[in-house]
Copies of this chain bind each other. A is one copy, B any other.
Amino acid sequence: MALRYALLAALHEAPATGYELTQRFRSRLANVWNASHQQVYRELARLLQDNKLLVETVEQSDKPDKKRYHLTLSGKKDLQDWLNQPQSRPPVRDPLLVKLFAGDLLESEVLREDLEQLKQDWLAQLGYFRSIEHTYFRQPDALSRQYRLQYMALRRGVTQITAGLEWIEEVEATLEDLDNAP
């Protein structure tokens, strides 16, 4: 059910097309919610059918037409109701940690590559988040309540990745220790 409300929340921020929503999920909302374009289009169709959204067709001369979705009052109300109910926290499912748990069957070299890849991914994402921070949230105290709360969502991403990177250092140090002095 939560994808529904992630979409409503994103559309409440600003009306958008399915394509744009998919992009938001991949970029600015990367630490908040994830959804593929297939999921987005399917759920938008349902929301539309339930009268939670309105469509505005935007004609473009050079590119294919696009459908911009807007929240209806009913959609906004649904979102509000959902927001004011407690939501369960996300379940944890991390393949990399499963690997660590099966430790003795895992080759150090493979683990090192996994860690390196993860580090690169995280560094890229951190760089992106920091650029947003720099552009939009320079003096957070001066911002509206809405933006300060959005900033807190971004901060979550930054602190999570920072802690993750430190953890990688720890694992790498352990690995070196293990392989050098057995």
Of the listed stretches A15-23, A41-49, A57-65, A163-171, chain B binds A163-171
A50 within 8 A of B: no
A76: B residues at CB distance < 8 A = 105
C-alpha spacing A33/B12, complex, angstroms: 33
Nearest residue (CB) in B for A1 is B95
C-alpha spacing A111/B146, complex, angstroms: 13
State how many angstroms separate the Cβ of A66 from the closest Cβ of chain B.
23
- Mostly, the A contact residues are helix
C-alpha spacing A177/B148, complex, angstroms: 10
C-alpha spacing A64/B81, complex, angstroms: 44
**Of B87, B98, B117, B148, which one neighbours A96 at CB under 8 angstroms?**
B87
A159: B residues at CB distance < 8 A = 163-164, 166-167, 170
A10 touches B87 (CB 8 A): no
A174 within 8 A of B: yes
A150 touches B100 (CB 8 A): yes
State how many angstroms separate the Cβ of A152 from the closest Cβ of chain B.
5
A40 within 8 A of B: no
Nearest residue (CB) in B for A113 is B86
A166: B residues at CB distance < 8 A = 159
Which residues in window 84-103 of A have CB below 8 A to B?
Answer: 84, 86-103
A89 touches B95 (CB 8 A): yes
A118 within 8 A of B: yes
A32 within 8 A of B: yes
A86-B113, A89-B96, A97-B153 known; 8 new pairs, CB 8 Å cut-off, are: A9-B102, A34-B91, A80-B105, A83-B110, A84-B106, A94-B156, A100-B156, A149-B174
